[in-house]
Amino acid sequence: MKKFISLLIVAALSVNVVFASGTIDAGKDFTVVIKENKAYSFGMNTFGQLGGNNYDMSGVPIEVLGVSDVKKVAAGLNHTLVLKKDGTVYAFGKNTNGQLGIGNYNNTIIPKQVKGLSNIVDIDAGKAFSVALDSSGNVYTFGRNNLKQLGIGQGESKNVPVKIYSGDVKKVDLGYNHGLILLKNGEVLDTLVGGRDKSNS
């Protein structure tokens, strides 16, 4: 029933709107979408992942506060990333592993700009870590690293973005505890263990 209600909400939002890649994403039990260059969210809000300046759950879409000209959204387990058209990234929600990239480990109910990122063209969010790609092909990760999912070969979490790769990158994508880097030549790099290349496996 809850899934059906969520579908109705999305349907209501999507009137006269064609959803493109990156304009809708779902976390553990919440959803974030883009409509008319603004981000909206609904669902559970235990850690402030809806970005509405409170911890109240919402059964209807609420506007994410403080961000406009939105290009892409990404939902992790309990955190949210928003990429603006100017190439900056904002984050909110759970941050106990630094997955918001704001320089501390404190949860936040309002969007805060991710430190050190500019000219970003792609983002994604995993369970408790995040990734960003800039226009020069640099890939940055931040958040939990207990399984070396940040691609830096060590087990410490990072609360600010760390550059892990630079090259001819087309897209980045995260799973629950691992990440993939798609190169423009079609090769795929798996960052689960220090950026190990699994393109031939």
Q: Which domain holds residue 114?
A: 2-134
pTM summary value: 0.87
CA distance 118 to 197: 27
One digit per residue, pLDDT tens: the chain, 201 residues?
344 344 445 544 543 444 555 689 999 999 999 999 999 999 999 999 999 999 999 999 999 999 999 999 999 999 999 999 999 999 999 999 999 999 999 999 999 999 999 999 999 999 999 999 999 999 999 999 998 899 988 789 999 999 999 989 999 999 999 899 999 999 998 764 444 433 333
Query: Considering its fold, how many domains does the chain have in total?
Result: 1
Task: Give the per-residue pLDDT at 189.
Answer: 87
What CATH number has the domain bearing residue 95?
2.130.10.30
- E strand map for the chain: 24-26, 30-35, 38-43, 58-63, 70-75, 79-84, 89-93, 108-113, 120-125, 129-134, 138-143, 158-166, 169-174, 179-183, 188-190
Give pLDDT tens digits for 15-63.
Answer: 344 455 568 999 999 999 999 999 999 999 999 999 999 999 999 999 9
Residue 180 maps to a domain: no
Residue 147 maps to a domain: no
CA distance 81 to 131: 10
Q: Which of 199, 164, 195 is nearest to 185 (CA)?
A: 199
